[in-house]
Structure 1
C-alpha cells in the first residue's frame, strides 16, 4: 500500500481547480544582458511582463489563476478574478518549486512538496523559492507531505493512469545516492505511480539537466508528443531520435503501447551564441485552452497545428516566448496546476 493510499497524480488535461504562476520582476533572472556591451537590456523585462499578461488573460477565461507577487499593492493591471498571494520569491518557475498536487477518488487534495535546490545550486539566488509554498500555504492550509528528496516538477510527466516519463540525466544527477529503483519506490508511495519510463537525456545546453517537459509530454493516457529533430547534423538529433525510439518501444503499466507524435523543433533560438534549450513540448494544457510557445521560428505554425490536433475540445493559443526563454524556460515551466475535486 502506498504512503498516500488511494491517491494519484492527475494528468494535466483533467479539470483544474486553479493554476499557480509568479509575476516576473527580475531583469537578471531573465538574462536581460545585452551581448554587445554585457549590460542589462532595459527593454526585455517589460516585453516579458507584457507576454505574461497575455498568459494570464488566456488562462482566466476558463480557470482560477493564483498569482504570486512580492507586493500586493504594486500590480494594478492584473486581469479581474486573479487571486493574489504575497511571498518572498526569486523567479517564476512555479512548475519546479511548487508542490505536485495529488488527490484521491473522493477529490481530497494533498500537496507533495519536494526539496528544491535551484538546479543543483547553479543559481544560489533562487534557493529562496524552496520556501514559497510554506508562505502561501499559511493561508490555504492544504495538507502537505515532504518526501525529503530533490525533485523539480518539470522533471516528470504523468499520464494519470500510473505511468510517468522522466530522464536519467536529471534525476540521477540531482540525487546521486538514489537509484532508479529507489525513485520508482518513492513515486509509488507518493504519486501512485507503478511504471516509470526512463529516457536518457534532455536537450543540449539545458541548465535543468534534462527536464522531460522540454522533450516529451502526454496528451492522453497512451498518446505522447515527442520533440524531434529531422536534421542529422543538429546537435539535438541523436538525443531526440533516441528518445523517440525508446517511447515507440515502451509500454505503460498495463502493457499497452503508446502512440508517439513527432513535434518539430525550433531552429532560430540562440543565446550567447549557443543553441537555447527550448522546444514546443513546453506547452500548458488548461481547462479550455492549450498555451503553446512560439519563438518567431518557421516551425511555430506546424507545432501549433500538431498540438491543436491532439486537443479537438480545446483551443490551442500561440504565445510568443522569444523573450521569456532568456530566463531559461517557457509556459509549462511557469505554471503548476491544482487538480479539481
Structure 2
C-alpha cells in the first residue's frame, strides 16, 4: 500500500528490544545459563546501539553491565509471561514518513502458551513514553501476527510460510488470500512470497520464516540447506529450496541464494530441539548469529560473511535458548533510527 514502508532489518537502527528472563518463566530451571546468554547478547548489541530491556527487576539487569554500558540501556519493569520479544514486540513501520509501531495480537503461537502479559507489553511501553515523541501507536490487536512470521525486503516484498500464517487458532476465519490482502494493507506490501514447505523439529511456532529463510539484502536470501539424506528434514527443506529458486526479487531478478548448514541435531529429554543458523539478527555494522558448539558454527559464519561482506559476523552461544525451542532472533526485536 502506498505510504507504508516496512523497513528491512538491515536499515540503520536506534535500538533492539529484549525481554529479560526471570523465575516466573519457563527459564526457571536453568536461569543462570540463559541469563549468561542474554548478557553476552546484550553486550554485543550495546557496542553498536541502544538496548530496550523489559524486565521484572531493573536493578538485577543493570548489575550485569558496566556504567558505560548502562548509558545505552533503557530498562523498564513490565510483567511478562516469557521472553520471545520477536513475537510479542511491536512491528516498526513508516506511514507517510511518520514512525509508527503496529501492535499486533500475540496469543502464544496459536494458544499453545499463556500470553496475557506479553500481549500488553507494547501498549505499556507507549503508556510509559519509552519511544520518541513523534512515534505513533497503531492498534492492530485484532489480527494475530508474530514478528518472526514475516520477513521484509524494504521494497514491498514479504516472505512468509503458509503453515504459520494459516495455522489454526491464529486468524482461522480468514483465507490465505484474505491474510495476504491484510498484510499488504497493514504492512505496505506489494506482494507476498509464500513458502509451503520447510520446518524444524521441536518448533512451537508452526514454521516461522525466521527459522528457515531470511532476507539479507533486496536480492539475497540465506536459508537452511539440508544435504543429509538421513535427516528427517531433508525432503521438506529440499522442496523449500526449490521454492526459493523459483522466486524473483522485486525488480524481477532471481535471488542470490546462500545456503546455511543444517545445525547438528541437539536434544533435550529425548526431544529434538529447533537449532537453526537462520535465526540471526542484523544490527548496526554486525550480524549476530546463533552458535551451538559444533564445527558447523564456523561454516555458518563463513556463509553469512558472504551475505554480509561489510558487517562483522559475531557468534553467540545459544544452546540455552533452544531448550525452550527458540534462538537468537526470536528473543530480539529491532527498531529503526528515530524510534528510540
Do these two structures clear the TM 0.5 threshold for a shared fold by scoring above it?
yes
Name the CA distance, whole Å, in 2 between partners of 1:254 and 1:68.
39
Matched, 1:112 2:112: no
Among 195, 198, 202, the alignment partner of 1:199 is: 195
Name the CA distance, whole Å, in 2 between partners of 1:280 and 1:313.
19
How big is each residue's C-alpha offset from its partner over 1:80-100, in whole Å with a ceiling of 9 and x where there is no partner?
Answer: 221112211121111001111
Q: Are the structure 2 counterparts of residues 26 and 216 from structure 1 closer, same or farther at C-alpha, using a change threshold of 3 Å?
A: farther
Give the structure 2 partner of residue 287 of structure 1.
284
Equivalent residues in 2 for 1:1-341, closer than 5 Å: 2=1, 5-26=2-23, 29-30=26-27, 40=29, 44-75=30-61, 76-78=63-65, 79-80=69-70, 81-104=72-95, 106=97, 108-124=98-114, 126-140=115-129, 142-147=135-140, 148-173=142-167, 174-201=170-197, 202-341=199-338
1:253 CA drift (Å):
3.7
Name the CA distance, whole Å, in 2 between partners of 1:65 and 1:309.
27
Name the CA distance, whole Å, in 1 between partners of 2:309 and 2:95.
28
Name the CA distance, whole Å, in 2 between partners of 1:205 and 1:49.
22
1:62 CA drift (Å):
1.0
Name the CA distance, whole Å, in 2 between partners of 1:258 and 1:271.
36
Name the CA distance, whole Å, in 1 between partners of 2:190 and 2:118.
30
1:72 and 1:86 in contact (8 A); partners too: yes
1:105 CA drift (Å):
6.6
2:275 and 2:292 in contact (8 A); partners too: no
**Count, aligned residues:** 325
1:217 and 1:224 in contact (8 A); partners too: yes
Name the CA distance, whole Å, in 2 between partners of 1:253 and 1:306.
24
How big is each residue's C-alpha offset from its partner over 1:83-134, in whole Å with a ceiling of 9 and x where there is no partner?
Answer: 112211121111001111001474x21111111100111112x332001111
How big is each residue's C-alpha offset from its partner over 1:134-167, in whole Å with a ceiling of 9 and x where there is no partner?
Answer: 1111123641223321111101111111111111
Which segment drifts farther, 167-176 or 74-83? 74-83
Runs of 4+ in 1 over 6 A off after TM superposition: none
Name the CA distance, whole Å, in 2 between partners of 1:162 and 1:291.
25
Gapped runs of 5+ residues in structure 2?
none
How big is each residue's C-alpha offset from its partner over 1:237-262, in whole Å with a ceiling of 9 and x where there is no partner?
Answer: 11211111101111234433211111
1:204 and 1:275 in contact (8 A); partners too: yes
Name the CA distance, whole Å, in 2 between partners of 1:13 and 1:262.
19
2:103 and 2:123 in contact (8 A); partners too: no
With normalisation by structure 2, the TM-score equals: 0.91
Name the CA distance, whole Å, in 2 between partners of 1:169 and 1:288.
33
